[in-house]
Amino acid sequence: MARYAEKRYSQRMSWVDPVIDEIKTRFEKEISAGKTLIIRDEKTLSGRVHVGSLRGVAIHGLISEVLTQQGIKNEFLFELNDFDPMDGLPVNIDPSYQQYMGLPLFKVPAHEAGAENYPMVFGHEFEKVTQALGFPIKFYTVKPLYLEGKFNDVIRQALDNADKIRKIYKEVSGGGKPDDWYPLNVICENCGKVGTTQVTSWDGTNVTYECKKLLVKWAQGCEHKGTISPFDGRAKLPWKVEWPAKWKVMNVNIEGAGKDHSAAGGSRQIGARIVKDVFNYPNPFDIPYEFFNLAGKKMSASKGLGASAKEVSDLLPPKLLKLLMIRKQPNHPIDFDPEGNTIPNLFDEYDRLSDHYFKRHPKPEQQFARTFALAQIDTTHAPKDLWQMRFTTLSFVVQMPHLNLIEEAEKLKGSKLTNDEIDALNERALYVKKWLDQYAAPEYTFTIQNGVPEGFTISDMQKVALSALAEKFASTEWEGGKIQEAIHAVKTETGVEPKELFQPLYQLFLGRNSGPQVGWFLSTFAKEDVINRLKSATR
């Protein structure tokens, strides 16, 4: 099984580069012949698509982007699976939908206007999220492929080799199937369910089947028995057989899988054997990848845990969402905690990477510049060098009704903002406000105090230092850097510990012990107001 070479990562610019090298080596003949490499991924639309599914999209999408940049023909196909049985009811769906359990998803009616059926409510939402990331994705649904007979040959091969598939299950996973088990689920002619049927025989033309009442826990069959042709959309393959069948049907060359599928004895290993021994097709190039964890918990669509791809995409600009998904090696998990420091740290990381790309960093590193370039949505044009206000500073400014965002930005930059910088600043401010409104921890929220807070107390030494600071400020140019110099001068003159001086300053104006850089912070208030507040506090 082809896997990315982790040992080479530290010697290259990004995890994607050694992966591309391995792909070029494996498919050298196909590339030389001008063949289009097929990259594929999929998601069963059993509920809102969770943000963890974006990791597979990003990994496959980035491979597609880089192959294209290197002149290698490829196509990234993403399947919106609408044929699996409805086997679970998401927590936000009306309980009346329990009546559809066991039906193929495409037969379940839409619960929102504008979609042709239940699964495509989620499919259309996911398409919009991924399109914002700029990946070259061609979406398709699997139902038409079955109806058009594209799966007929692999269905016949699976039924003809049922004993071989049973043997593969046992050898790879240790979990055997009964001797009378066939790798197919018929759509019941009576009740229309696909999750409750069991094939009992195959004569080379037709299958006999039973729609069993208690075959599964999540749906009840109607107990109908029948004989039917398994072709042209009348039946579907079970997941562990259908997956490798899709590789052959779609001519797939490259397809990774999450940790749960890639474990020893898991569905990927079973699929690798089935595709080779039953369908006579090579196992696609594999990129196993770790989970996307929300506050330490694996995302789960069926249980309603975590956040949807749409919800998280609403919290981050597309390039930040893309960076979140591509910055780590595939075999490292992504931990995302919107209520913690994940989002502030992500913005800061983007800004640090930009310093390397634009060579503002004293020792720019190519691998960081490379990651910044890959995170861009438009990869056909070089990114613009824009001044950006840091996240923590911006999160403070947008909470201060007395501050003008553009004016404060220009003070910090030291010159006028360009139109592009104004647009970038306003966009970032929009996302900062969303985060503050929905998830921000108390350490990021600020309220200006109207006067000396009730219960404010300081030591005699702190009174001396604050009094000295009030006098010093009277002759200080009211600018962040100069204010900071005055504070440090008073600290040195009085011998007070830094925190013994900084903490009361934050307490006087914010009612807390910490905040943004103190010199700039105080510069946002009128000089006379700051001096008067200090005098009131030391009386």
Nearest to 136 by CA among 41, 53, 247: 41
Q: Residue 10's pLDDT is what?
A: 35
Nearest to 85 by CA among 183, 219, 177, 248: 219
Residue 11 in this model has a pLDDT that exceeds 50: no
- Whole-number Å distance between alpha carbons of 108 and 111: 9
pTM of the model: 0.89
- Whole-number Å distance between alpha carbons of 37 and 23: 10
Both tokens of 360, joined, read 């503002």
The torsion angle over the Cα atoms of residues 82, 84, 87 and 93, rounded to 10 degrees, is 0
SS3 content of the chain, % helix, strand, coil (to 5): 45, 10, 40
Residue 8 in this model has a pLDDT that exceeds 80: no
The SS3 assignment for 534 reads helix
List the end-to-end C-alpha distance of the chain, in Å, as a whole number: 76
Average pLDDT over every residue of 407-424: 95
DSSP string computed for 153-217: HHHHHHHHTHHHHHHHHHHHHS----TT--S-EEPPTTT--STTEEEEEE-SS-EEEEE-TTSSS
Q: Residue 85's pLDDT is what?
A: 97
Model confidence at 300, in pLDDT bands (50, 70, 90)?
A: low
Q: Report angle CA 185, 139, 20 to the nearest 5 degrees.
A: 105
DSSP string computed for 290-338: PPEEETTEE-BTTTTBS-BHHHHHHHS-HHHHHHHHHSS-TTS-EEE-T
Q: Residue 343's pLDDT is what?
A: 94
Q: Residue 307's pLDDT is what?
A: 76
Q: Residue 355's pLDDT is what?
A: 96
Both tokens of 327, joined, read 């910055």
Average pLDDT over every residue of 345-371: 95
Tell me the sheet residues that pair with 141: 80
Residue 9 in this model has a pLDDT that exceeds 50: no
Both tokens of 81, joined, read 């699976």
As a residue count, the chain comes to 539
* 107 or 312, greater pLDDT: 107
Tell me the pairing of strands 207-211 and 197-202: antiparallel
Give the whole-number percent of the chain exceeding pLDDT 90.
80
Residue 267 in this model has a pLDDT that exceeds 50: yes
Q: Residue 29's pLDDT is what?
A: 97
Architecture of domain 322-444: Orthogonal Bundle (1.10)
Q: Residue 4's pLDDT is what?
A: 36
Per residue in 357-374, is it b (16+ CB within 10 Å) or e — as a string?
beeeeeeeeebbbbbbeb
Q: How far is CA 447 from CA 398, 442, 531, in A?
A: 11, 11, 20
- Whole-number Å distance between alpha carbons of 287 and 62: 12
The domains of the chain are located at 6-85+104-138+242-292, 153-236, 322-444, 460-537
pLDDT, tens only, 475-493? 999 999 999 999 999 999 9
Both tokens of 251, joined, read 């001519």
- Whole-number Å distance between alpha carbons of 511 and 515: 10
Average pLDDT over every residue of 154-160: 98
Nearest to 196 by CA among 209, 205, 207, 183: 209
Q: Residue 443's pLDDT is what?
A: 83
Q: Residue 275's pLDDT is what?
A: 98
pLDDT, tens only, 216-266? 999 999 999 999 999 999 999 999 999 999 999 999 999 999 888 888 888
Architecture of domain 6-85+104-138+242-292: 3-Layer(aba) Sandwich (3.40)
Instruction: Confirm if 236 and 220 have CB atoms less than 8 A apart.
Output: no
Instruction: Confirm if 227 and 248 have CB atoms less than 8 A apart.
Output: no
**Residue labelled with tokens 């990869």:** 379
Task: Report domain 460-537's class.
Answer: mainly alpha
Both tokens of 498, joined, read 């830094």
Q: Are 322-444 and 460-537 in the same CATH fold?
A: yes
**Residue labelled with tokens 């009378």:** 180
Residue 184 in this model has a pLDDT that exceeds 60: yes
Q: Residue 298's pLDDT is what?
A: 57
Please tell me the least confidently modeled range out of 46-50, 138-142, 222-226.
46-50
